[in-house]
Amino acid sequence: QVRLVESGGGSVQTGGSLRLSCVASGYGTTRYSRGWGRQRPGKDREGLVNIYPDGNTQYADSVKGRFTMSRDFGKDTAYLQMDRLKPEDTAKYYCATAPHYVHFREHWLFTTWGQGIQVTVSS
């Protein structure tokens, strides 16, 4: 059974940075697609980014150029470096994974999600 655990959230001022981490446990997860999504207050969950086992990465326009996703295969950990944060980035952030290719625009196809972690950006 695959399990994901996020860490690194918190509160930051506009323009600041945070780095989220997501550790995966379970057999074969290094071959999985990984991604991040978020749910802002009063909104549905949205996909933000995906990374495939070959390193190919796609970003939503709302975070492109500010957020960077990476993964460490040795630690089976995915990261989301968030720079130039804005108040509208305030949300609960979730990491996700699936044993097949998943594009962030179809984030509902991820088969396992973490419990989520809060990010708050104040103006």
115: pLDDT strictly greater than 80 = yes
Looking at residue 79, its pLDDT comes to 97
Amino acid present at 51: I
Looking at residue 26, its pLDDT comes to 82
Confidence band of 30 (pLDDT split at 50, 70, 90): confident
Helices (H), the chain: none
**Tens digits of residue pLDDT in 40-93:** 999 999 999 999 989 999 999 999 999 999 999 888 999 999 999 999 999 999
Whole-number Cα distances in Å, 73 to 2, 14, 78, 102: 15, 32, 8, 18
Looking at residue 15, its pLDDT comes to 98
**Tens digits of residue pLDDT in 92-102:** 999 999 999 99
Looking at residue 28, its pLDDT comes to 75
6: pLDDT strictly greater than 90 = yes
Confidence band of 123 (pLDDT split at 50, 70, 90): very high
Looking at residue 121, its pLDDT comes to 98
- Dihedral over Cα of 3, 8, 12, 16: its sign: negative
Q: SS3 of 74, please?
A: coil
